[in-house]
Amino acid sequence: MPAEGSAAAAGLGQRPAGWRLSWHLAALCLAVLAPMLAIGGVLVLYLASAERARHEMDARQAAWRLTAVLDRELSSLQTLLRVLATSDHLQAGDVGAFIARAAQVPRPPGAEIALHDARGRPVADTGAGRAAIPGGPPDAPVSGLMLAGPGGQASFVITAPANLGGAAARLSLIVPLAHLEGPVQAATVPRSMTASVTDAGGHILARSHQAARLVGGQVAPELRIPPGAAQGWRESHDADGEAVVMAFSRSSTAGWTAAVFMPASAFAAPLRRLFWSALALALALAVLVAGLASLFARRISRPIAGLAAFAGGAALPEHWPAGPVREVDAVGRALLEARTEARERLRRSEDLLRTLDRAQVLVREPGGRITIWTSGCEHLYGWRREEALGHMAHDLLETHFALPPEQIMDRLLRTGEWQGELRQRRRDGSEITVISHWALRSGTASGPQAVVETSHDISALREAEAALRLNRDLLASVLDASIEPISACDLKGRFVILNEPAARLLGSSAAAAVGRTVEALLPGSPLAATRAVDADVAASGRGQVIETELPDGDGGARVLLSSKTPWRDGAGRICGVVTVSRDITARRQAMARSQQLQEELLHVSRLSAMGALAAELAHELNQPLTAVANFADAARRLLGATGNDAAPTLPAAREAMAEATEQAIHAGRIVRRLRGFIGRGETDRRPVVLGPLVEEAVRLAMTGSGRQGVALELRLEAAAALVVAADRVQVQQVVVNLVRNALEAMGGSPRRRLSVTAAREGAEAVLRVADTGPGIAAEVAPRLFEPFVSTKPEGMGIGLSICRSILGTHGGRLSVTETPGGGATFTVALPLAPEGARAGETSDG
Give the rounded percent of residues in the chain with a pLDDT score beyond 90. Answer: 7
Whole-number pLDDT of residue 8: 40
Encode pLDDT of 36-95 as tens digits: 656 666 666 777 777 777 878 888 888 888 888 888 888 988 898 888 888 888 888 888
Encode pLDDT of 359-373 as tens digits: 888 888 888 899 889
Encode pLDDT of 752-799 as tens digits: 899 999 999 999 999 999 999 888 877 777 777 776 555 665 544 567
- Cβ-in-10-Å burial (0-12, 13-18, 19+) of 788 comes to exposed
CA 549 – CA 815 distance, rounded (Å): 40
One-letter identity of residue 19: W
Whole-number pLDDT of residue 767: 93
DSSP 575: E
Encode pLDDT of 525-584 as tens digits: 777 667 888 888 888 889 888 887 777 656 566 777 888 899 888 788 888 888 888 877
Task: Establish how many alpha carbons lie within 13 A of residue 277's alpha carbon, considering only the half-sphere containing its beta carbon.
Answer: 9
Report the chain's terminal Cα–Cα distance, integer Å. Answer: 116
243-247, 575-579, 662-666: least confidently modelled range: 662-666
Whole-number pLDDT of residue 798: 65
For residues 439-458, give the mean pLDDT.
Answer: 79
For residues 235-263, give the mean pLDDT.
Answer: 82
Residues 552/558, Cβ–Cβ less than 8 Å: yes
Encode pLDDT of 594-611 as tens digits: 566 556 555 555 555 555
Higher pLDDT, 762 or 644: 762
Other CB atoms within a 10 A radius of the CB of residue 31 amount to 21
Strand residue runs (E) in 165-213: 167-176, 194-198, 204-207
132-136, 186-190, 445-449: least confidently modelled range: 445-449
Encode pLDDT of 260-316 as tens digits: 888 877 666 666 666 666 666 655 555 555 555 555 556 555 555 565 565 555 565
Average per-residue pLDDT in the chain?
76
Whole-number pLDDT of residue 312: 55
pLDDT bracket for residue 318 (50, 70, 90): low
Whole-number pLDDT of residue 21: 45
Whole-number pLDDT of residue 474: 75
483-492, 668-677, 707-716, 740-749: least confidently modelled range: 668-677
Residues 323/57, Cβ–Cβ less than 8 Å: no
Higher pLDDT, 473 or 382: 382
Other CB atoms within a 10 A radius of the CB of residue 474 amount to 10
CA 129 – CA 107 distance, rounded (Å): 18
Domains of the chain, with CATH numbers?
180-265 (3.30.450.20), 359-457 (3.30.450.20), 468-583 (3.30.450.20), 585-682 (1.10.287), 686-837 (3.30.565.10)
The helix/strand/coil state of 151 is helix
pLDDT bracket for residue 651 (50, 70, 90): confident
Task: Kindly tell me if the per-residue pLDDT of 124 is higher than 70.
Answer: yes
pLDDT bracket for residue 233 (50, 70, 90): confident
Strand residue runs (E) in 274-430: 361-364, 370-373, 400-401, 417-425
Whole-number pLDDT of residue 727: 83
124-133, 406-415, 758-767: least confidently modelled range: 124-133
CA 152 – CA 132 distance, rounded (Å): 8
Q: Which of 524, 560, 564 is nearest to 541 (CA)?
A: 564
pLDDT bracket for residue 683 (50, 70, 90): low
Whole-number pLDDT of residue 337: 75
Sheet holding 431-442, edge to edge: 370-373, 361-364, 448-457, 431-442, 417-425, 400-401
